[in-house]
Every structure is written in structure tokens, then in C-alpha cells.
Amino acid sequence: MHKTIAYTAFAGGLLLILVPRFILPACEYKGYAAMHCSDTARAEYIIGMLIMLTGAATFYAKTAGLRILGALAALALFAVSWCLPDTFGYCQSPRMPCNYGMVPGIRFIDMTGSLIMLALAVRLGAKHFKKDRHD
């Protein structure tokens, strides 16, 4: 199960790096001037890298407690990533690429990653604590 946590975190982090630049790019990368959405995209790159590092660390975690901690850390980073567009801002015009592409894409990745991490952390935690009670 720890591999699922690691792969999900790594894939989610990679998508948070690729979406604002290549898949559903911010306005700056579509030929518009640099705006608030460019700052959001750069912040998403950092969070994406941190989530990828969390996934890599979870892959090599030896104990169930560290795996649970890795899932919860990735969950917290996905929550931070969800808040970044509102914190740094993005274009309010519905015609701008960040408004109809980048921000919904980021939020979809965040919600999907958060739900998977929460489910895996609960499942791993229940399995771990159930095992501890019977010992």
C-alpha cells in the first residue's frame, strides 16, 4: 500500500508541475503578459516538487507510521495547492486560459490526490492500529 501512496504523490506532484506550464498553461505561456496567474503557476511548481519529494520519501519509508505521515504530508500539501490560486490570484476574465484551464485543472488534481491520500491514510492507519491492539 505504501507504493500506492508514493506513486499517487509522485504523479500528483508531477501533474502540478506540468499542468500550469504545458498541459493547461497559465496566460503567460499562451502569449499574454505575465499576470497573477503566473505567480500561481510558479507557486504550484514548488508545491508539486514538494509533493514529489514526499512521494519519494514515502516509497523508501520502512515503518507504517512513516508511511501514514507521508500520506498526511501529501494531503496537507494538496490542500495548500488548492488554496494557492486564491492566495496569489488569477485572471478573473472567463476568456483567459488560466480561468477556464489551469485553475480547474489544478483543483481537480488537488481534490483527486487529497481523496486518494485520505483514503489510503485511513486504511493504513486502521490496519496499523488494529495490528497494535492485538499484540
When divided into structural domains, the chain yields a total of 1
**In the predicted model, what is the mean pLDDT of residues 110-119?**
98
Host domain of residue 59: 2-134
Instruction: Determine whether 73 is exposed, middle or buried from the number of CB atoms within 10 Å of its CB (0-12, 13-18, 19+).
Output: buried
Q: pLDDT per residue over 37-94, tens digit each?
A: 999 999 999 999 999 999 999 999 999 999 999 999 999 999 999 999 999 999 999 9
Contact 102, 24 (CB under 8 A): yes
Q: pLDDT per residue over 82-104, tens digit each?
A: 999 999 999 999 999 999 999 99
Between 92 and 17, the higher pLDDT residue: 17
pLDDT at 135 over 60: no
pTM: 0.94
Distance CA 74, CA 56 (A): 11
Phi first, then psi, for residue 58 (nearest 5°) are -65, -35
- 74-86 per-residue burial string, b: 16 or more CB within 10 A, e: under 16: bbebbebbbebbe
Q: How many residues does the chain have?
A: 135
